[in-house]
């Protein structure tokens, strides 16, 4: 088959291939420079040299502490603290996880310094957050997200009608914008499909500890779904969560990531223990 067809089968997009062709990259077959129309055969060795990405010149570095959980030449996973946004906004250009990662890349003098966020977390949600260290890795991980091969598990503390929670259940309720707010979301018939699985791990008189897997990635999905079934997250003032049990942010933590390494094929499983504020409530 032609080299461009082979590369497409390996997950190389047209955009990436154009970058290789026109921005200083190279394609080799058996250590000989070839173009995309060259015909490859079984047993050939194909090598693609991707041009360095440089950096986002407008993204400001932030030298605040970065808790690195896993890193190799393609991936970076960090433990996000409470109160830090994932990415900058127009009026908040610094102080985010992306800014911290930019400083990390600068400090280590990586040739690729564009920050690729694969899995975002809300400002007050804690836990594992995945970055790709170059555009090809980002494309491969996005493909895993869409197929469900990249799995994200969360832990939440909820209150309300916790006596109605089952040992395992699926919440399949569409989510759309709440027209009374530019931020808030709600369950609505004309919303986008949103699917959340949960397992009940522990229950006290006031609080339930649930483990959650997302099958879609809607804004505020977990918070909206649990509020909709009458069990809002503790500390989640936006969605009517209980604010009187010692936690003033949504009690939500990304506990576990499962993915296939996009280049080695190795299965990677990463876990992160609960932060102190959630542990304290769980152990009461």
For 124-137, the pLDDT digits (tens) are 999 999 999 998 99
Mean pLDDT over each residue of the chain, to the nearest integer: 94
pLDDT of residue 187 exceeding 80: yes
153-253 has the same fold as 53-147? yes
Asked if the 53-147 domain carries CATH number 3.40.50.300, the reply is: no
Structure letter (DSSP) for residue 181: -
Give the whole-number percent of the chain exceeding pLDDT 70. 100
Confidence of residue 224 (pLDDT cuts 50, 70, 90): very high
Q: CATH assignment of 153-253?
A: 3.30.2350.10
Catalytic residue among 62, 112, 122, 277: 122
Non-local (6+) Cβ contacts of 210 within 8 A are 155, 156, 157, 158, 165, 198, 199, 200, 201, 226
Domains of the chain, by residue range, sit at 3-49, 53-147, 153-253
Residue 167: Cβ within 10 Å count: 8
pLDDT of residue 56 exceeding 80: no
122 is catalytic: yes
| Beta bridge partner(s), residue 185 | 177
Distance CA 26, CA 45 (A): 14
For 191-218, the pLDDT digits (tens) are 999 999 999 999 988 899 999 999 998 9
């Amino acid at each position: 088959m032609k080299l461009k067809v082979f590369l497409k089968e390996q997950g190389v997009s047209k955009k990436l291939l154009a970058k290789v062709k026109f921005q200083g990259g190279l394609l080799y077959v058996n250590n000989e420079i070839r173009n995309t129309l060259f015909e490859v055969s079984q047993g050939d060795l194909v090598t693609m040299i991707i041009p360095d990405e440089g950096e986002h010149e407008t993204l400001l570095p932030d030298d605040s502490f970065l808790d690195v959980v896993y890193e190799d030449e393609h991936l970076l996973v960090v433990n996000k603290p409470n109160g830090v946004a994932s990415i900058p906004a127009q009026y908040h250009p610094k102080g985010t996880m992306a800014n911290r990662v930019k400083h990390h890349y600068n400090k280590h003098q990586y040739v690729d310094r564009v920050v690729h966020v694969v899995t975002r977390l809300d400002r007050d949600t804690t836990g594992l957050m995945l970055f790709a260290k170059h555009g090809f890795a980002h494309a491969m991980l996005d493909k895993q997200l869409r197929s469900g091969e990249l799995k994200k598990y969360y832990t939440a503390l909820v209150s309300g009608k916790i006596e109605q929670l089952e040992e395992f259940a699926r919440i399949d309720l569409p989510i759309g914008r709440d027209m009374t707010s530019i931020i808030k979301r709600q369950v609505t018939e004309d919303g986008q499909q949103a699917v959340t699985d949960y397992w009940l791990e522990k229950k006290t008189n006031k609080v339930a500890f649930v483990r959650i897997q997302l099958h879609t990635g809607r804004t505020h999905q977990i918070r909206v779904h649990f509020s909709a079934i009458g069990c809002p997250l503790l500390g989640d003032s936006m969605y009517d969560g209980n604010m009187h049990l010692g936690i003033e942010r949504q009690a939500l933590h990304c506990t576990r990531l499962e993915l296939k390494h996009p280049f080695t094929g190795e299965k990677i499983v990463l876990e992160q223990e609960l932060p102190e504020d959630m542990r304290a409530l769980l152990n009461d």
